[in-house]
């Protein structure tokens, strides 16, 4: 089957047919926009993808008041160009779909964010990061081109050579310049296994130095750190390989296997490094089964052996079902007593940033994922003034141990700190900054220029108006 699929793709037969089907689906987006124009542009626009499907704790209030454009009906992989090493996909294609489609053909994405349900549209118009970002940058840096439908209904394409300003302005724009209907993404050869080296580290200062040094190693395909307490962390260094060493394969994605973060923690208990060979797809989706470590607060016995053996195949509960069935009380509980945040800070500030995290939240475990911000790619994000390219995503997910935790105080303090070190906040999470503070964190120059040129005012809200606290519940 895979060989036949490959032959058909190479002959172009599938590519041509699906391109025609894609054009028909784009026409439905254009039609919706024409109707909105004909009806006198009564409200602003957003996508019609229901808010509870979004990979965020929150749901946009604006979904109820704005006109929804049905981009979420576009969910197919359209064509693969093995010579050019690209794949053309529609915006509602998910990361799970991408690995299932590309890997049997021997390809993968350079940056493949790890939760199965993340969509290309959300990662392009928001931001995407993964443990290969120390080498390849953000999801946006692995995109060759975008196809958009503007508020007027016109279809435009952009890439580094064609319409380069629009190309730079789309990432982080949250659907406020136009509707993404297609994206051409880089692909790279996939190997069947990841050789993963686990390195337990015990003293914060030296551990952070060791991590920062390793993050520079672009010979590694993957690198990340999980931090379990002030002075306990495990650095993981991964490289794609063709063949595993006998007896060292660990298919961590199998339903009865322990949650990945608990498996990683076992290296702290053993107090010595180790090497395993993990099937590539299992590696990519290693944090999916336990939603990082969020599932331990939802199904407290979810990692017990009996549960894994009997019900592990059902995990994780779909985040959108959890959102859809969330009561107001539970929502409030999460809002007041739970942190889900990703702060992108310059590497040189990591030590300090961990201290700020301890003081304001005191959440553990933490996720460290290094990433590059290249000066030439800057758009909504500004490169560091001192030329530093290595940033670290500090992922904070869990219940704060700070007994006096108040989001309005402690999250605000962390946001202020991140802004003061020229860092960035990922915008899928609660964002409490004022409009002025937000404009200090993110560069609005190119964005505003594009909004003017494309006639976005009156058609789309600004990013701030989609991501601030008042816009979501
Ligand atoms: N590893 C990672 O990188 C992770 C990233 N995330 C975050 O989750 C989000 C992605 O989640 P996902 O559920 O896929 O996406 P979302 O539905 O959350 O969309 C994110 C933003 O992109 C806009 N958008 C999505 N598709 C389109 C489109 N076709 N055209 C125009 N605008 C669009 C949405 O607009 P609208 O609100 O109008 O629908 C929204 O503002 C990103 O913001 C990402 O940063 C979360 C977890 C992990
Ligand atoms: C951004 C990153 C990772 C983020 C994840 C840890 C969170 C992204 C979306 C979060 C969730 C969405 C909805 C939920 C429903 C609630 O009832 C329970 C919590 C949750 C499952 C919540 C949990 C955390 C997320 C999965 C990195 C990788 C850049």
**Block mean pLDDT (10 aa), the chain, length 473:** 52 74 97 96 97 93 96 95 96 95 96 94 97 96 97 97 96 98 98 98 96 97 98 98 97 97 97 97 95 95 96 92 90 92 97 98 98 86 89 97 95 98 96 98 97 96 97 90
Whole-number Å distance between alpha carbons of 17 and 183 = 18
Q: Specify the DSSP class assigned to residue 187.
A: -
Whole-number Å distance between alpha carbons of 109 and 222 = 13
The number of C-alpha atoms within 13 Å of 385 and in the hemisphere containing its C-beta is 5
Residue 393 confidence (pLDDT): 98
Residue 375 confidence (pLDDT): 83
Task: Report CA torsion sign: 127, 129, 134, 138.
Answer: negative
Residue 14 confidence (pLDDT): 62
Radius of gyration from C-alpha coordinates of the chain = 22
Q: Return the ligand 2 atom nearest residue 397 CA.
A: 6
Say yes or no: CB of residue 426 within 6 Å of ligand 2: yes
| pTM score above 0.90 | yes
Q: Do the domains spanning 3-189 and 329-432 agree at the CATH topology level?
A: no
Residue 15 confidence (pLDDT): 75
Q: Which CATH fold would you assign to the domain 3-189?
A: 3.30.465
Instruction: Specify whether the CB–CB gap between 135 and 389 falls below 8 A.
Output: no
The CATH number of the structural domain formed by 329-432 is 3.30.70.2520
Q: In 198-207, which positions are buried (b, 16+ CB within 10 angstroms) versus exposed (e)?
A: bbbbeebeeb
Whole-number Å distance between alpha carbons of 289 and 296 = 11
Whole-number Å distance between alpha carbons of 19 and 422 = 42
User: What separation in Å is there between the alpha carbon of 429 and the centre of ligand 2?
Assistant: 9
Query: By three-state DSSP, how is residue 60 classified?
Result: strand
Helix or strand (DSSP H, E) at 177: none
Strand partners, 344: 393, 424
Say yes or no: CB of residue 319 within 6 Å of ligand 2: yes
Q: What separation, in Å, do the N-terminal and C-terminal C-alpha atoms of the chain show? A: 46
User: What separation in Å is there between the alpha carbon of 442 and the centre of ligand 2?
Assistant: 23
Residue 3 confidence (pLDDT): 56
Say yes or no: CB of residue 323 within 6 Å of ligand 2: yes
| Other Cβ atoms closer than 10 A to 386 | 8
Q: Which ligand is nearest to the CA of 170?
A: 1
DSSP assignment string, 315-341: PSPPHHHHHHT--HHHHHHHHHH-EEE
Q: Return the ligand 1 atom nearest residue 60 CA.
A: 37
Query: By three-state DSSP, how is residue 338 classified?
Result: coil
Sketch the domain layout of the chain as residue ranges.
3-189, 193-325, 329-432
Q: Which ligand is nearest to the CA of 60?
A: 1
Whole-number Å distance between alpha carbons of 90 and 278 = 29
Residue 17 confidence (pLDDT): 85
Say yes or no: CB of residue 414 within 6 Å of ligand 1: no
CA distances from 110 to 60, 61, 99, 132, 170 (A): 30, 34, 12, 7, 19
When the pLDDT of each residue in the chain is averaged and rounded to a whole number, the result is 94
Q: In 208-244, which positions are buried (b, 16+ CB within 10 angstroms) versus exposed (e)?
A: bebbbebbeeeebbbbbbbbbeeebbbbbbbbbeeeb
Q: Tokens in use for 251?
A: 């298919």
């Amino acid at each position: 089957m895979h060989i036949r699929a490959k032959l058909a793709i190479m002959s172009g037969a599938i590519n041509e047919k699906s391109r025609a089907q894609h054009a028909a689906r784009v026409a439905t987006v254009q039609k919706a926009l024409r109707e909105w124009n004909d009806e006198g542009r009564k409200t602003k626009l957003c996508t019609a993808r229901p808010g509870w499907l979004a990979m965020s704790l929150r749901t946009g209030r604006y979904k109820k008041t704005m006109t929804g454009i049905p981009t979420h009906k576009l969910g197919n992989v359209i064509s693969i160009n093995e010579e050019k090493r690209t794949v053309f996909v529609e915006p509602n294609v998910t990361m799970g779909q991408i690995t299932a489609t590309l890997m049997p053909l021997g390809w993968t994405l350079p940056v493949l964010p790890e939760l199965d349900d993340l969509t290309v549209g959300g990662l392009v118009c928001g931001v995407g990061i993964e443990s290969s970002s120390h080498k390849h940058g953000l999801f946006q840096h692995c995109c060759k081109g975008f196809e958009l439908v503007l508020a007027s209904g016109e279809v435009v394409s952009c890439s580094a050579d064609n319409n380069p300003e629009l190309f730079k302005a789309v990432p982080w724009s949250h659907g406020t310049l136009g509707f993404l209907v297609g994206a051409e993404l880089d692909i790279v050869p996939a190997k069947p296994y990841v050789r993963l080296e686990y390195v337990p580290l015990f003293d914060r200062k030296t551990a952070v130095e060791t991590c920062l040094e390793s993050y520079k190693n672009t010979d590694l395909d993957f690198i990340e750190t999980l931090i379990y307490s002030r002075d306990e962390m495990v650095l993981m260094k991964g490289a794609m390989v063709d063949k595993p060493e006998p007896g060292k394969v660990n298919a961590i994605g199998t339903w009865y296997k322990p949650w990945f973060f608990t498996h990683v923690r076992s290296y702290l208990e053993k107090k010595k490094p180790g090497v395993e060979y993990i099937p590539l797809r299992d590696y990519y989706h290693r944090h999916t089964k336990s939603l990082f470590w969020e599932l331990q607060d939802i199904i407290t016995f979810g990692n017990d052996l009996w549960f894994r053996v009997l019900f592990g195949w059902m995990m994780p509960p779909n985040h959108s079902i959890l959102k859809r069935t969330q009561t107001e009380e539970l929502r409030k509980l999460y809002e007041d007593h739970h942190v889900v945040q990703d702060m992108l800070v310059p590497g040189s500030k990591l030590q300090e940033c961990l201290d700020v995290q301890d003081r304001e939240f005191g959440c553990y475990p933490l996720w460290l994922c290094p990433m590059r911000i290249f000066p030439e790619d800057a758009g909504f994000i500004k490169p560091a003034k001192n030329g530093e390219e290595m940033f670290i995503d500090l992922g904070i997910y869990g219940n704060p141990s700070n007994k006096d935790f108040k989001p309005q105080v402690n999250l605000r303090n962390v946001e202020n700190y991140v802004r003061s070190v020229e860092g960035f906040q990922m915008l899928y999470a609660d964002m409490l900054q004022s409009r002025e503070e937000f404009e200090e964190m993110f560069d609005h120059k190119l964005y505003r220029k594009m909004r003017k040129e494309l006639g976005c005012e009156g058609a789309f809200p600004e990013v701030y108006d989609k991501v601030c606290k008042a816009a979501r519940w």
